[in-house]
Structure 1
Amino acid sequence: MARRRRPPRAGALTELQPLKIAAQIASLQALYYFAALVLTLFTALVAGISFNLNLILGWDHVRGDTTQGWLLAFVWILNGGFCMSLAMVVLIARSKLVPDFALTIHFLHLLFTCLYTRSLPRHSMWWLTMLASSATAVGLGMWGCRYRELQPVFFLGGRILGSGTSGPTKNTRSTGAMGDPDVEDGMGESSSMAGEYEMGQMKPST
């Protein structure tokens, strides 16, 4: 006789979906480099810097002894911190998953940079920039996801979560069988007679 399988725990299959997580990481990484491309290209055109792939996948331009290095560091913080936090709020929408995705994006960028330059970054400014970028992404991403999670949910024009207010209450009084508001059910006495009592005569004991 075959043994009956225990039903899966609620949420166990939905919390761990490798294909979905891989697709989200790929989407965020693509957005990361797309935003970096747009911001770096715009900065290069404005600052008069010759644009090349080394500005995105290289680490030698991000340095603390030149104005160009500080400018590129600000671009990477803007890209990784602000753009990616907004992307995670839209795509991930779960505050507890934000640190994992934010650190994964920056780790993959470190891996791609090492593969492109065939060396580890040797400028401390580059490491500080990536640290500030990841910290900003985690902080803003978690705040944005929590703000989104606390928003009320509307269904068919009605507010079903986060309403915070109750419906209007009606001051109703119980009525008797004849519909008289002054007569209470089962009492048979008028509300105006409340508090008035009548003492009967006691028979003398023999």
Structure 2
Amino acid sequence: MASFRSYVWDPILIISQMLSMQTVFYVSLGFWLILIDNISSTNKSLDQIFNHQSLDISSGSGKVILIAFMLNSLTGAVSLWLIVRRSKQCWDFAITVHIIHLLACWVYNIRFPSTMTWWLTNISCAALMTVLGEYLCMRSEMKAIPVSGGRADL
């Protein structure tokens, strides 16, 4: 018996979607940082992405990084819509992207991120990415399905 939207477990699809999401996350974050750094004449470095202490909102460069992370969550929401296409899976992919980012920051700094600003920024970015991604996916899922009327000459 066939059911609506029955899926077969496809680990290759899930892994390729996750790799795509992670790639989009870092490429778009780099793009936003370069764009904002050029506007604000801030120094560019990998510390802006991976060093948890660089997200200090009391400094001008920390605010620049915070803005880039927020803009990146908007880009991440669009990529959820284009790559994942399922509102039920948006939360899973958004959280996984941010957990992998947590692990990358941990490895880069050789210690666990401990600043409250880093945690608040990443939690709010994950929430924003999830909610907007689900909204975009739901809009696509709720579109009317065109049904052809069959033979018109009856």
Q: TM-score, normalised by structure 1?
A: 0.67
Q: CA deviation at 1:78?
A: 1.4
- Would you say 1:21 and 2:18 are equivalent positions? no
Q: State the alpha-carbon separation in 2 of the partners of residues 78 and 133 from structure 1.
A: 9
The alpha-carbon deviation at position 71 of structure 1 amounts to 2.2
Contact 1:73-1:126 at 8 Å conserved across structures: no
Q: Which runs of 5+ in 2 are unaligned?
A: 149-154
Structure with greater Cα Rg: 1
Partner of 1:32: 25
Corresponding position of 2:147: 160
Distance in 2 separating the partners of 1:70 and 1:42 = 14
Whole-angstrom distance in 2 between the partners of 1:71 and 1:98: 27
Amino acid at match of 1:47: S
- State yes or no: 1:56 paired with 2:43: no
In the alignment of these two chains, the number of paired residues is 147
Is 2:123 the partner of 1:136?
no
Aligned to 1:44: 37
User: 1:59·1:113 contact (CA, 8 Å) conserved in 2?
Assistant: yes
State the match for 1:11 in structure 2. Answer: 6
Counterpart amino acid of 2:17?
Q
* Structure (1 or 2) with the greater helix fraction: 2
User: Alpha carbon RMSD of aligned pairs, Å?
Assistant: 2.0
Unaligned runs of 5+ in 1: 1-6, 154-158, 162-206
- Structure 1 runs of 4+ off > 6 angstroms? 7-10
Amino acid at match of 1:149: E
CA shift, 1:55, in A, is 1.2
Q: Deviations over 1:68-97 (max 9, x none)?
A: 212211210210x21011001011111000
| Contact 1:77/1:130 (8 A) holds in 2 | no
Give the share of equivalent positions with the same residue, in percent: 22
Q: Which fold has the larger relative contact order, with Cα–Cα distance below 8 Å and residues 6 or more apart in sequence? A: 2
Asked if 2 retains the 8 angstrom alpha-carbon contact of 1:25 and 1:101, the reply is yes
**Distance in 2 of aligned mates of 1:62 and 1:35:** 18
3-state SS in 2 of match to 1:60: helix
Q: Which residue of 2 aligns with 1:179?
A: none
